[in-house]
Amino acid sequence: EIVLTQSPASLSLSPGERATLSCRASQSVKNYLVWYQQKPGQAPRLLIYDSSTRATGIPARFSGSGSGTDFTLTISSLEPEDFAVYYCQHRSSWPLTFGGGTRVEI
């Protein structure tokens, strides 16, 4: 099973600042890495798939990069609605796994 480790566990930032979130895989997942955003009481929302492809309707301030074992989600300028928990997930092999999440808080 591929273990995804997200860091930091939490990030305290202000609106307008840049957020950089990391996801590291225990073995290569090629570029098959996905990012989600989750707010309290809601299902996760797809942001990025295959490392860097933004999902439909996702603002350009969200970008993803990386391949192999190291990946980054960047939010270029935080909007108030971006404060949430972010999870990575791989789709490289079975079983699919999620990371433990990074909470982005004000």
- Chain residues binding another protein by CB under 8 A are 1, 34, 36, 38, 43-46, 49-50, 55-56, 85, 87, 89, 91, 94-101
Beta carbon nearer to another protein, 38 or 72: 38
Q: Is 26 helix (H, G, I), strand (E, B) or coil?
A: coil
Query: Rounded CA gap, 97 and 6, in Å?
Result: 12
**Smallest gap from residue 84 Cβ to another protein (A):** 13
**Smallest gap from residue 96 Cβ to another protein (A):** 4
DSSP state of 57: T
**Smallest gap from residue 15 Cβ to another protein (A):** 25
Q: Tell me the C-alpha to C-alpha distance, in Å, between residue 31 and each of 2, 37, 50, 91, 105.
A: 14, 19, 5, 9, 28
Beta carbon nearer to another protein, 17 or 50: 50
**Smallest gap from residue 31 Cβ to another protein (A):** 12
Q: Tell me the C-alpha to C-alpha distance, in Å, between residue 100 and each of 3, 39, 57, 85, 97.
A: 10, 15, 25, 10, 10
